[in-house]
Amino acid sequence: MHRGARTLLHNGLRNELATLCSEALWQPAREVRPFRLQPTARMDLTLRGYSRTLTCVDVALTSPLQCRSVALAARTPGGASTSYESVKVNRYGTACADMGYVLVPFVGDMLGAWGASAQELLSRLVRAWGLRMQLPAFRASAVVHTRLSLAVQRGVAAVLLQAASPLLPQALNSPASNGEEMEEPTAEVGEAAGAGVWAMAQASPPAVTLAR
């Protein structure tokens, strides 16, 4: 998946997570550079209401359909996401520790499973958001997970449209009925389409949920 597609998915999830954290009074800030010794290093979110010190959240989405991730995802729900957390820890763990910050790699996969660190944050977010909105825990959990799921679905839809748009004029001018062979879809379109099918299946009432 090319960089523009990754950015669409990433930013949609990050922005919805920031909104939920704001509603829970966790004082999120986006695109922050909190490290004195690494002034160019940037965190997706910082939170001031999650722990006693500044919490740095780095958001990522991975695909469990990648060759290196299939076995991990099959062995444990969220296995691919939890494995990818190590990338974030290796990149920012030392810098956060030096500053006394808490690092939370917020990693999910495109088929709906969250990594261990993301699950812990979501569990606490559901409680804080539910108290703020005066909702019972089961309802707060449904709303929080639905909103995050829809953010990923919107990103997947944008990726599909972006990847397919150059092919639309050709498809309109070259109907399959003319006997010509149609081009095979790219791997990027196939991956996004697979995530889109899963997302649509999850969209049936009463709620969409990314957590498993």
Q: Give the per-residue SS3 of 71-135.
A: HHHHHCCCHHHHHHHHHHHHHHHHHHHHHCCEEEEEEEECCCCECHHHHHHHHHHHHHHHHHHCC
How confident is the model at residue 182, as a pLDDT?
A: 41
What span, in angstroms and rounded, lies between the C-alpha atoms of 41 and 31?
Answer: 10
What is the rounded average pLDDT for all residues in the chain?
78
Residues 6+ apart with CB under 8 A from 173: none
Amino acid at 46: T
**pLDDT, mean of residues 51-73:** 79
Question: What percentage of the chain carries pLDDT values higher than 90?
Answer: 46
**pLDDT, mean of residues 165-189:** 50
* pLDDT per position as a tens digit, 121-144: 999 999 999 999 999 999 999 999
Instruction: Please state the φ and ψ torsions of residue 40, each to the nearest 5 degrees.
Output: -90, -15
- Cβ(38)–Cβ(92) under 8 Å? no
Residue 202 scores a pLDDT above 50: no
pTM of the model: 0.74
DSSP code at position 64: T
**Which structure tokens are listed for 71?**
């076995």
What span, in angstroms and rounded, lies between the C-alpha atoms of 88 and 10?
Answer: 14
**pLDDT, mean of residues 98-102:** 94
**pLDDT, mean of residues 62-79:** 66
Instruction: Please state the φ and ψ torsions of residue 172, each to the nearest 5 degrees.
Output: -70, -35
How confident is the model at residue 184, as a pLDDT?
A: 45
* pLDDT per position as a tens digit, 153-174: 888 888 788 777 665 555 445 5
Q: Supply angle C-alpha 63, 15, 209, rounded to 5.
A: 55
Which of 94-98, 157-161, 174-178, 180-184 reaches the highest mean pLDDT?
94-98
User: Burial of 165 by CB count in 10 Å (0-12 exposed, 13-18 middle, 19+ buried)?
Assistant: exposed
How confident is the model at residue 176, as a pLDDT?
A: 47
Q: For helices 3-23 and 116-133, what crossing angle results, to 10°?
A: 40
What span, in angstroms and rounded, lies between the C-alpha atoms of 93 and 85?
Answer: 11
* pLDDT per position as a tens digit, 49-61: 888 899 999 999 8
Q: The dihedral of CA 28, 44, 143, 122: what is its sign?
A: negative
* pLDDT per position as a tens digit, 6-54: 788 889 999 999 999 999 999 999 999 999 888 899 999 999 988 889 9
Residue 208 scores a pLDDT above 50: no
